Structure formats: C-alpha cells, structure tokens
Amino acid sequence: MTAMPAVEPVAGSSTGPAYGKVRTILLTRVLREPLVHFLALALLVFAAYGLFGADADDKPDSIVVTAPKIEQMAAVFAGTWQRPPTAEELKALIDDYVKEEILVRQALELGLDRDDTVVRRRLRQKMEFLNVADAEALAPTDAELDAYLKANAAMFQIGSMLAFQQVYFNPQRRGDTRAQDAASVLKALLTDSVTDRTLFGDPTLLPPDLPLSSKASIGQTFGADFAEELDKIPAGQWTGPVNSSFGLHLIRVTERVPGRAPTLDEVRDAVAQEWTNAKRKELENQRLAELLKRYVVRVESPAGAGTDP
C-alpha cells in the first residue's frame, strides 16, 4: 500500500503551533482573574449545597412512636378506664402524641420555653428527680445507718409516755363554781385514797383512764398546754385542776415512761428514709458544685441599692 504524504500545517491555521501558544497565554491570563476565582468558588458552594444542603433542608424531622411508648399509652388508658383501648382509641392516642411532639418541637424552635417560670420550675424538678433516683438506688449498710442514727439522735428520740386517770368538770354545767367544785373533790380524793372517783365529776365521752400515750398524742386530744402540764405532774398522786380545751380535770398519773434513744431495729425504716434524703442532698450539692464551675455568676445590685447584695 502506498503511504499517505504528511500534511504540513498552514500558517494561521487553528491547528498550528502559533495558535496553541496564543491559547495557552490567554488561558493563563483568564485563570489569574479574581472574578474567575470567585465564580469557581461559588460553583463549588452551589454544587455542595445541591449534594448535601438541599436534601437536609427538604428532609423532614423524624418522629418515631416506639412500641414501648405505645404500650405505655395503652397501659395508662387501661389504668384510667379499667379496660384496654380499642383500635380507634389507640390510634387517637398515637395521633395526639404526634401532635404534642410537633407542637413542643415548634415551641422550642420559637423559644417559647425561655423565661417561662412554669417550664423552668418543671425542668428543675426533673433534674432534682435524677438526684432522688440516684440516692434511692444506693443501699446503706447497717454501719452507715447506725452512724447516721447516732449523729442525729434527737431526730429519732422516742418521747416520754404516760398513763393517767381523770375526773372531769364541765364548764357549761357548773359555770363559775367549777374551780371550787374541783377543789372540793380533790380534797376528798387526797383524804381518802380508796374513794371511788367515778362518784365525782361530770359525764363525758373522754376516757376516764388513758393508757400509755405519747405527749404528742395527748396534746392532739386535750391540747398542747394540757400535755405540757401533765409532763410536770408527779406520778401516783391526785393533782389539779388542770385546764384543757374541754374544761377542768383532776389528774392522777398512774405510769410514766421516760424518753430514750431508740435502737436501730426500732427505727430502721425512718433512719433509712432520712439517710436517703441526706444522701440525695449531698449528691445534689456535689453536682451543683461541679456544674457551677462552668459558669461565672455575677449578681448585680438592685436599682437604688447602696451596696451589692
């Protein structure tokens, strides 16, 4: 086969070396232009937005109604109405939950939770509940409970108890003579110790003989001043008259048990509860101290005040 002859480039043609040189020079100048750089950067940003940003904005937030959440809603319904919800009722519960979730998220996005006293108080309570849960999860040893009991003995002190007999004088029946009548009966009882006391006084629904009772219990029935006065009366002797919220009484204390410090077994539940409360407060203070390190607290003086608070 005969070889094709080589074609020489024509001067001035676009395929010649002169054209290529000119094209290189022009391209170099264009690439050096700031406007070209700006346009290139804008194209890159637009391309990145097209790949990532647009999808992120167009993609809706996800609300997942989990199976445990549905079970919880059904359990609350059953606890309230004493029957499980129907399919329609369960759907209504789910729809209401979704509505609530949407509105809450929208409210948070609008900042409606800010400077709201009720919301702030509820959030604080939830944070404090975390401390309560952590404290209640702790199991104190007997040694810890015993140490707490000894350190707080006054809190668990068993108060004194007493039993007494009484002769009652009704102020509405006796009027101004009740004090004189009570004094006469007291004299008779002191003169003859075997005198039947039931022959004296006025009828009442109050017990003529009160068994061993605490000072607080007596105060609830007869009044605090009456209980305080009984605490001073010596046992075994008729005394009075003593005023109560009902009238006048002649009193004979038949038994008195002094107050004392209890053993751990007697007050274990109460000590455990107070120990948990103290531990909760301790955890709360520790966490607050750690969180406080993240902040700089500045307390401004109120308007018109001369010094800082």
pTM recorded for the entire structure: 0.48
CATH class for the region spanning 160-257? alpha beta
Contacts of 230 (CB under 8 A, 6+ apart): 162, 164, 215, 218, 242, 251, 253
pLDDT tens-digit readout, 197-208: 888 888 988 888
pLDDT band at 12 (very low <50, low <70, confident <90, very high): very low
d(CA 93, CA 99): 10
User: Which pLDDT does position 298 carry in this prediction?
Assistant: 83
Which tokens is 1 given? 């086969």
d(CA 124, CA 284): 12
Cβ atoms within 10 A of the Cβ of 74, count?
16
d(CA 179, CA 229): 17
pLDDT tens-digit readout, 104-123: 989 888 888 888 899 889 88
